Structure 1
């Protein structure tokens, strides 16, 4: 079992982010920040984080403000957006990890939304290499065909109605994504309705941030992803013209399994295939 510490990381907008630090028992090779998907709490990534420590990496997981262990008070009172998650939560976590890295490389592993936010981080220069796992643009007309009618219903009916009634998005009750602050779900809706996702919805300043990213990015995507199509993946990668992007699109068959999907990468059953054979060689 990895040695862990629970830490509250202060952000510059006055919030605290609940995080878990995992420490290796062997000489530290580097530090890895795991940046979560929308509506996914840090506990989901615990087995993966613990495994990384056995290979010499210090790892941190965390919950965005207003979610998981970082939720304080009622969600209807949470005044937070996805931009706040990037500008304050992620930036604070990168700084905290950089301070603990002891001069070793710092890596960003972002799942879904966590991979989308790479271009919004002001201190990304501290990151040696970024990994996006099942990350693509969320533009709804580029979604896989089976998803389009459901997201139409979500964005044009469910989200506007429920957030008006509850003051937040009651995703757990609806079995969709998870409970989210109104500012988060409304901004995400705006992104997903724009053909250029966040760089279109947020304007030129955000577009320029993505264009200037030079940090190398390694993109993992999966042909059976039920949420992200290849068009979604390619669209997100196109936001980074100055970055070197290595694309690894994986079929379940090539690793001897029937299914990977949007969340499967972090399943411990892929320890030898996806983790050891595909990810580990790129951590250098």
Structure 2
């Protein structure tokens, strides 16, 4: 077996004709041990290039999955020549881009189960696609939609100033958010920057003002689409992630009313490290410590044996050292 499989470049088109770039790791056969081989799709965090997830994708491929990573419109392989001319919001990333990927999956991987690994906004994106009913299982990391009141208390003020003051101001000046030159993330379409900076306690209320406005009926339809999602979700959050607080993770999960879900919260000290944060889960240094959580969930639809999966879909799991406490919701994050 090739321990370093190389992905194939991929270009597909959304229903509106927009070209999306990505990469796919394929096996020669569509079955494994007599069963259809699963396809895993990675839905990235906001304005994080799909290449960031290459090592994780190749690792999943070595463990039996076909894997597809792609960039949302405006980002990385899917960036147009002039970003200032692109109108795209978080809703477009789900309703158009991820939907296009699901259509491609049905055509290119017929009969194969589809799993999703979603990072940050990728969790919301997953539920927005009209074809999301075709998904078998979902594994999320730090999945939320950046409502500022949910940020960790110790970092809330600087994050509020950065993402809800500076970002919309720079976006208004430039016509897009020039994040790359600031070293914050990839340059970002105007509508995505506004989706983030205007994010409300109810995510659909973000879309009440131009240029990203949706009608009341369209906003209600978004909520109904998330409620109709039924694939089981394992939502992992990290205690030192300033975005992925308990309140933030639970706020998004509350929309998936018909999807069995488990919230598993992990502290860096549990695995003998000082920090993990919002991004490091996908670093290769956690291949043996954290990545098996995703593997076991996608393979078996259950939490890893070291955790006890709750029967009640709304139960949150908190693991402290070797003890597991069910159903307790701390009122604030550790400092």
TM range (shorter): over 0.9
Q: Contact (CA 8 Å) 1:32, 1:107: kept in 2 or not?
A: yes
Higher mean C-alpha deviation, range 36-45 or range 256-265? 256-265
Pairwise CA distance, 1:156 = 4.7
Query: By percentage of residues, which structure has more helix?
Result: 1
Residue 45 (1) aligns with residue 53 (2) = yes
Residue 62 (1) aligns with residue 67 (2) = no
For 1:9-28, what aligned pairs fall within 5 Å after superposition? 9-24=12-27, 28=32
- Going from structure 1 to structure 2, the CA distance change for 1:156 and 1:62 (only over 3 Å counts) comes to closer
Partners of 1:121 and 1:156 lie apart in 2 by 26
The correspondence for 2:151, drawn from 138, 143, 161, is: 143
Q: Aligned Cα RMSD in Å? A: 1.7
Pairwise CA distance, 1:65 = 0.7
Pairwise CA distance, 1:173 = 2.1
Task: Please name the residue that 1:282 is paired with.
Answer: 297
The correspondence for 1:195, drawn from 175, 193, 201, is: 201
Q: Contact (CA 8 Å) 2:155, 2:242: kept in 1 or not?
A: yes
- Going from structure 1 to structure 2, the CA distance change for 1:102 and 1:138 (only over 3 Å counts) comes to same
Q: Contact (CA 8 Å) 1:2, 1:24: kept in 2 or not?
A: no
Pairwise CA distance, 1:155 = 4.8
Task: Please name the residue that 1:78 is paired with.
Answer: 86
Pairwise CA distance, 1:58 = 0.5
Q: Contact (CA 8 Å) 2:168, 2:193: kept in 1 or not?
A: no
Task: Please name the residue that 1:205 is paired with.
Answer: 221
Partners of 1:68 and 1:167 lie apart in 2 by 18
> What are the ranges of 5 or more consecutive residues in structure 2 without an aligned counterpart?
208-218, 300-335
Partners of 1:157 and 1:72 lie apart in 2 by 26
Q: Contact (CA 8 Å) 2:164, 2:198: kept in 1 or not?
A: no
The correspondence for 2:239, drawn from 223, 227, 234, is: 223
Higher RCO (CA 8 Å, separation ≥ 6 residues): 1
SS of the counterpart of 2:276? coil
Pairwise CA distance, 1:79 = 2.1
Partners of 2:83 and 2:98 lie apart in 1 by 20
For 1:255-270, what aligned pairs fall within 5 Å after superposition? 255-270=271-286
TM-score in terms of structure 2 length: 0.79
Partners of 2:110 and 2:223 lie apart in 1 by 33
Task: Please name the residue that 2:329 is paired with.
Answer: none
Q: Contact (CA 8 Å) 2:143, 2:249: kept in 1 or not?
A: yes
Residue 157 (1) aligns with residue 165 (2) = yes
SS of the counterpart of 2:188? strand
The higher radius of gyration belongs to 2
Q: Contact (CA 8 Å) 2:39, 2:67: kept in 1 or not?
A: yes
SS of the counterpart of 1:60? strand
